[in-house]
Amino acid sequence: MISNKTRAVLIALGLISSLPANAIDPAPILFDPISVIPQMVIDVQHNDNLFLDETSPQSSMIKLLKPSVQLLAERRNSAYRLTYNLEDARYANSSADDYTDHRLIAEAIFELSRHRVDVTGMYLKGHEQRGANNSKFGDKPSEYTDKSFGVVYRYGAEGAIANVELTGSYLDHSFDNFKALNESRDRENSRFGATFFYRLAPKTAAIFELRYEDIDYDLVVLGTPDLDSVETKYLVGVKWDATAKTSGTAKFGRMEKEYDSSRKDQGSMSWEVSAQWAPLTYSIFDVSATQEFEEATGTEDAIDSQVLSLSWGHDWNERFSTNVGLSRMEEEYSGISRTDETDGFTLSANYDIQRWLGIGLAYTNTDRASDVPGESYDNEQVMLTLSFSL
């Protein structure tokens, strides 16, 4: 769970990890039937605007250690994975912003004939960077805990004329510090969904989807209508994997947000598009576009967010690859008068020195223009990354 202002920065950063790139190939440690895969990533970054400040940006070098370990096990009709990630950051010019995040994810897949069940549970101890929403008022990052659980059930054989998918998930998002500032943002999200796939061609299917999400805030601020709401989405679309060069999903429909209080209900079009074009096996273009509601991060009711991203990943040889990405996010705030536009640009290069050792260099720029004074900013980051495993 990330704040809206932080999310704008990560729009650019996220493109790096989503693009195809050469990557190290870790060798597992075998303890039959369990495989253990340890990895380590070391980042050295320079951030020229730590607190996303419009008038007085502060810069710093940042050192990050990101160790992780995966435990894998497979049986005839099931697979299991347990992943632990740690991220420890140290700021040269702002030690108050040092943080250590922990993430534990447990996953299981059960498959038998026409039935498949995916189960995922996650426990996260995370943070929001200072400068993001209420976090700008603290003297160190706001810390939070996420506990989530999700189930996906799919019925239908591979290649069947029709398939049905049912989903359910639960999230408990609560802040651990600065309670006076953040307690009103503690909430629980319960989501249910149903999707019907109907095969139109061997590699093309029509999609009919319904989603329902109940959002329950733990605290009502005296004199302020509460933010408890129900969101519903109705989507129709198509999923295709027509050739080895093109694949994707496009869904369009309507989303509605109805409040339990006197806040004004919201309604808007909604879309989710994700497509990939690979003119060559080693060169891939990705495009994605979404429109959805974001939860309030300040005094607004909600945020109607539109995001468009384009990226190109190219493997120049077996060891060297590059990635470039562009993004645009447009946000319209309901309940207050505010509109933001955020543009992101990323450029990265990755080189595999050995099977178990890789190095990367990346540059990102995020530029937000807001019609509210003090909410615009420009942020540049340069990152040198070393990845290694056994």
pLDDT of residue 8: 47
CB 127, CB 141: distance < 8 Å: yes
* pLDDT > 80? residue 82: yes
pLDDT at 24: 85
> What average pLDDT does range 38-66 have in this prediction?
95
Q: Determine the pLDDT at residue 164.
A: 98
CATH number for position 220: 2.40.160
Query: Which residue, 344, 348, 345, is CA-closest to 383?
Result: 348
pLDDT value, residue 17: 37
The pLDDT of residue 15 is above 70? no
Q: How confident is the model at residue 20 (pLDDT cuts 50, 70, 90)?
A: very low
Task: Name the residue with higher pLDDT: 363 or 374.
Answer: 363
- More reliable by pLDDT, 329 or 182: 329
32 against 219, higher pLDDT? 32
Nearest to residue 331, comparing CAs of 274, 291, 272?
291
| Residue 135 domain boundaries | 4-389
DSSP 8-state code for residue 159:
T
Task: Please give the average per-residue pLDDT across 133-150, as a whole number.
Answer: 84
Amino acid identity of residue 69, one-letter, is V
Question: What percent of the chain lies above the pLDDT cut of 70?
Answer: 92
Give pLDDT, residue 222.
61
Residue located via tokens 């059930």 = 153
> pLDDT averaged over the chain?
90
Cis bond leading into 33, ω under 30°?
Answer: yes
Q: Would you state the pLDDT for residue 136?
A: 61
pLDDT tier at 137, thresholds 50, 70, 90: low
Average pLDDT over residues 124-128: 96
Q: What is the pLDDT of residues 163-218, one digit of tens each?
A: 999 999 999 999 999 888 888 889 999 999 999 999 999 899 999 999 999 999 98
pLDDT tens digits, one per residue of 258-281: 999 889 999 999 999 999 999 999
Q: Note if the pTM is more than 0.75.
A: yes
Sign of the Cα pseudo-torsion (64, 65, 71, 72, in order): positive
Radius of gyration of the chain (CA): 22
Q: How many domains does the chain have?
A: 1
pLDDT over 90 percentage in the chain: 76
pLDDT for 135: 55
pLDDT at 11 over 80: no
pLDDT tens digits along 276-301: 999 999 999 999 999 999 988 778 88
Residue 143 predicted with pLDDT over 50: yes
**Which among 80, 65, 70, 68 is positioned nearest to 28, based on CA atoms?**
70
Distance CA 365, CA 381 (A): 7
Q: What is the pLDDT at residue 69?
A: 97
Which of the two residues, 182 and 370, has the higher pLDDT score? 370
List C-alpha distances in Å: 48 to 14, 17, 54, 86, 366.
19, 22, 12, 24, 11
According to DSSP, the β-strands at 302-315 and 283-295 are: antiparallel
Cα distances (angstroms) measured from residue 323 to each of 11, 90, 152, 283, 313:
15, 27, 32, 10, 4
